[in-house]
Chain A
Amino acid sequence: MSDRIFGVFGILLAIGFAMSALTIEESFLSDAVGPKAFPLIIAAILGISSAVIAIKPDPEPHWPNFARLAEIAAAVVVMVLYAQFLPVAGFVLATAAAATYLSWRLGSTIIGSVLTGVGTSVGIYVIFHLVLGLSLARGPLGF
Chain B
Amino acid sequence: MDMLNSLADGFMIALTWQNLLLALLGCFLGTIMGALPGLGPSNGVAILIPLAFTLGLGATPSLILLTSVYYGAMYGGRISSILLNIPGDEPAMMTCLDGYPMAKKGLAGEALSISGIASFVGSFFATWGLILLAPQLVKIALLFGPAEYFALFALAFMTLGGVSSTNQAKSAFAAALGLGLAMIGVDTQTGVPRFTFGEVHLYDGLDFLVAIVGLFALSEVLIFLEERHGNASAEGRKLEVGRLTPPLSMVKECTPTMLRTSFLGFLAGVLPGAGASLGSFIAYSFEKRLVDKDGTFGKGDPRGVAAPEAGNNAAAGGALVPMLALGVPGSGTTAVLLAVLLSLNITPGPLLFSQNPDVVWGLIAALFIANFMLLAMNIPMVGLFTRLLMVPPRILMPVVAMVSFVGIYGISGSSFDLLVMIGFGVMGWVLRKLDVPLVPIILGTLLGNAMESNLRRAITIDNGDWFTLIDSPLAIGLWAVAIIGFILPIIFGRVVKSKMRRREDEEGAITD
Contact = CB atoms under 8 A, between A and B. Distances in A.
A45 interface: yes
Contact of A79 (B172, B422, B433): B422
Contacts of B203: none
Given A32-B463, A38-B183, A128-B406, A53 B167 contact: yes
A72 B226 contact: yes
B324 interface: no
B170 A103 contact: no
Given A33-B459, A45-B172, A134 B410 contact: yes
A131 B324 CA distance: 33
Which of B230, B398, B410, B433 has the most C-beta atoms of chain A within 10 angstroms of its own C-beta?
Answer: B398
B402 A120 contact: yes
B231 A107 contact: yes
B175 A45 contact: yes
A91 B409 CA distance: 10
A42 B183 contact: yes
B58 interface: no
B136 interface: no
Contact of A108 (B395, B401, B451): B395
Interface residues of A, number: 74
Nearest to B461: A32
A49 B456 CA distance: 24
B176 A45 contact: yes
A106 B176 contact: no
Contacts of A139: none
Interface stretch (B66-74, B104-112, B186-194, B352-360): B186-194
Interface stretch (B217-225, B253-261, B301-309): B217-225
Interface in A58-78: 58, 61-64, 68, 71-72, 75-76
A26 to B, nearest CB: 7
B248 to A, nearest CB: 43
B245 interface: no
Contacts of A53: 167, 169-170, 173
B399 A21 contact: no
Contacts of B170: 49, 53, 58
Nearest to A17: B180
Contact of B398 (A61, A99, A128): A99
Contacts of A121: 402
A58 B435 contact: yes
B185 to A, nearest CB: 11
Nearest to B186: A35
B91 interface: no
Given A79-B401, A106-B230, A86 B409 contact: yes
Interface in B403-423: 403, 405-406, 409-410, 413, 415, 418-419, 422
Contact of A71 (B175, B225, B406, B464): B225
Given A3-B434, A72-B429, A116 B180 contact: no
B394 interface: yes
Q: How extensive is the interface on chain B, given as a class?
A: 35 or more
Interface in B141-176: 166-167, 169-170, 172-173, 175-176
B265 interface: no
B415 A49 contact: no
Interface string A113-129: 10011001101100010
B244 interface: no
B394 A32 contact: no
Contact of B456 (A32, A52, A86): A32
Contacts of A10: 173
Contact of B228 (A61, A63, A106): A106
B221 A102 contact: yes
Contacts of B191: 27
B230 A108 contact: yes
B147 to A, nearest CB: 13
Contact of A124 (B55, B229, B403): B403
B48 interface: no
Contacts of B397: 102-103, 106
Nearest to A136: B406
A72 B402 contact: no
Interface in B20-73: 51, 54-55
B439 interface: no
Nearest to B436: A6
Nearest to B179: A42
Nearest to B173: A49
B195 A128 contact: no
A80 B419 contact: yes
Contacts of A112: 394
Nearest to B444: A42
Contact of B415 (A34, A58, A86, A91): A86
B399 A120 contact: yes
A24 B229 CA distance: 46
A116 B394 contact: yes
Nearest to A113: B394
A106 B195 CA distance: 38
Given A31-B460, A72-B225, A99 B406 contact: no
A21 B194 contact: yes
A38 B459 CA distance: 12
B393 interface: yes
B207 interface: no
Given A27-B192, A49-B169, A49-B176, A106 B460 contact: no
B422 A80 contact: yes
A117 B434 contact: no
B225 A63 contact: no
B9 interface: no
9 contacts: A2-B434, A35-B190, A38-B451, A43-B176, A45-B176, A79-B425, A112-B394, A113-B394, A132-B54
Given A49-B173, A75-B221, A86-B415, 11 more contacts: A39-B180, A46-B180, A50-B169, A58-B166, A58-B167, A76-B222, A86-B409, A102-B221, A108-B230, A116-B394, A116-B398
